[in-house]
Amino acid sequence: MALSSQPFIFPGTQSTVLPDPSAFFAPHLLSNPLPTNSFFQNFVLKNGDQPEFIHPYIVKSSLSSLTICYPSQFHNPAFIYQTFIADLTIRALNNPNPNAPHVISSFDDLSVTLDLPSSNLRFFLVKGSPFITCSVIENIAISISTIHAILQCSPNGNRTKYTIKLNNGQTWVLYASSPIDLSNDVSSITSGVFSGIIRISCLPNSDQTSEAVLDRFSSCYPTSGNAVFKQPFCVEYKWEKKGWGDLLMLAHPLHLQLLSAVDSSVTVLEGFKYNSIDGELVGVVGDSWILKSDPVSVTWHSIKGVKEEACLEIIDSLNKDVAALDSKGVSTTSSYFFGKLIARAARLALIAEEVCHLDVIPAIRKFLKDTVEPWLEGTFQENGFFYESKWGGIVTKQGALDSGADFGFGVYNDHHFHIGHFLYAIAVLAKIDPIWGRKYKPQAYALMADFMNLSRRSNSKYARLRCFDLWKLHSWAGGLTEFADGRNQESTSEAVNAYYSAALMGLAYGDTHLVAIGSTLSALEIHSAQTWWHVKEGSTLYGEEFTKNNRVVGVLWSNKRDSGLWFAPPEWKECRLGIQVLPILPITELLFSDVQFVKQLVEWTLPALAREGVGEGWKGFVYTLEAIYDKVGALNKTRSLTGFDDGNSLSNLLWWIHSRDDEVGESDRGSKFCWFRHYSH
């Protein structure tokens, strides 16, 4: 079954907590599913006037004007954020309706088109463009104002380029598709009547060499961009462009790591760089990029296997953990905690397979059927999955009435986290009971499609890749909540689990397409976690202060890096580590392939375990990583634990530790992706 084909729909519901999308989306878009975790989400929430980071600029739309900022960064040991300042604000002069809202007239994987209808201005906001491109649709005069003082606004000979110098040290360059007359006072620039294309760019570091690059590529502009999954572990960017000449875009550090010089006809301009919170953005010339990840082999069981002499200890633990399963004793009604609970039980089945202790599998199968089926059949009285058509997706019974219920699932927060746990349990149950799997395949695919749909077709029921940002190459969790810092994501490991679980479901159903897409998104999420969440000693990405004090980012926002968590302060390092590890799976080994970093992270965390009140469950995740380089020490500590996270078990910890290497050689300690090539097939 293709990812875009979802014949089953959960029962419909009318949500009382969702915002009205018709306030900002053009009417022709409202009949299709709409994005709920996108890079431009703030533009369609509440007043639509909170900024978004459209690399390399922060962009804010308010009162029929568009404000752009080339941000500086604020650093301290606890957080980093990009500072929004109204560097330039563009509006129409003599606007008859200056309070009119903007309209989103189109969007795609890599861009959003924002219209100011009362101003006759259309902005092509394309991620990674060094230019802000504005189409002036009718003959109007425009105004460009700034909170800084304008020191200079000088034209070239034919008045198609103006150099604008501000007293904050910035130099901006304006390009026009035909001659334009600009005049200025200390804080504003006004034009004569004009129609055509205007492009504005901040000159990075006021560098003359960079200005020559901007001049050269100023005439070719992107209007949209899409990402295409051509083959496993490969994403192709394709931009639609207008004007003439070649297209200049910017690549973030992970783009540059994955950019295939062999397959892409692109030129990297090493010396042309913009600064950003995500690292240096480097110029790339070409309207098609091919990004290739090393392959990830998604497996049900551990990569290296469990040594025979360790099986008895695991089997003894399995017998106890399985005996304690009680479907009638489940008290949680939360979609998140329920998902963790059933995924925990599903892990026991796969561990039992791996240690050849098949006697416990019937009991696990019964528990999973008793707990999963009510959610899929709509007979779980306290909660359940429903379909809402306003934005196009699944909400929970509780979430449809309360935006805070189920951690905001009803306003599209954390969908990949919650559903990912359900998919894991469903995939395992379909594996051990194929007849059951066939019966519930429609419901399983409907859940998967909520966050994994690839279709762009108008008859699709779900947004395209609801959580995954195809430009940043990782997921966002924030949903339809307005945040001044944009979207955010806390747990990268749960994001990896979502796509990994979808791939496992593909294995269970013999769906090679789903295996390929799930594996590809898992690989990209892993790359992003290692690039932006894992903070290695000596890294220059986040500056000296933050790097010295942190080994992981707590919550990563579009415009901020925070050391705290949604549920814990920065000092609770065991929680900060644990939320980037859980759930413990075979793919955890790939997420934490850099043994040298793992040791840094554990040694940074261990002192926090001496704090009074540290939960036993969180200690388990610390010992999980410690086992990667000190198997014996971690095993002794794990045996003394008196409790476990609600998605974890002693059996799972013992399985993990006993499937580690006894010794880690120096060759394994570097930040190499050796596991990709060694184990992938």
Active-site positions read 414, 490, 494
Vertex 522, ends 538 and 301: CA angle to 5°?
105
Identify which of 127, 129, 107 has the alpha carbon closest to the alpha carbon of residue 221: 129
Amino acid in position 344: R
Report which secondary-structure segment, H or E, holds 386: strand 385-388
- Residues in CB range of 84: below 8 A, 6 or more apart: 51, 58, 60, 69, 71, 559
Taking residue 448's Cβ as centre, other Cβ atoms within 10 Å add up to 28
DSSP result, 621-665: HHHHHHTTT-HHHHHHHHHT-----TT--HHHHHHHHHTS-SS--
673 CB-contact burial (10 Å; exposed 0-12 / middle 13-18 / buried 19+): middle
- By C-alpha distance, which of 371, 512, 513, 375 is closest to 443? 375
Q: How far apart are the first and last CA of the chain?
A: 23
Amino acid 403 reads S
Strands 468-469 and 79-83: what pairing? Answer: unpaired
Contacts of 217 (CB under 8 A, 6+ apart): 245, 246, 247, 248, 285
The beta-strand segments (E) located in 179-306 are 182-184, 188-191, 194-202, 220-231, 234-243, 248-251, 267-274, 281-285, 288-292
Nearest CA to 349 out of 340, 333, 360 is that of 360
Three-state secondary-structure class, residue 184: strand
Distance CA 338, CA 347 (A): 14
| Cα separation, 263 vs 280, whole angstroms | 23
Show the tokens assigned to 35.
């994005």
How far is Cα 628 from Cα 324, in angstroms, rounded to an integer? 29
Amino acid (1-letter code) at residue 354:
E
Per-residue exposure over 631-645, b if at least 16 CB sit within 10 Å of its own CB, e if not: beebbebbeeeeebb
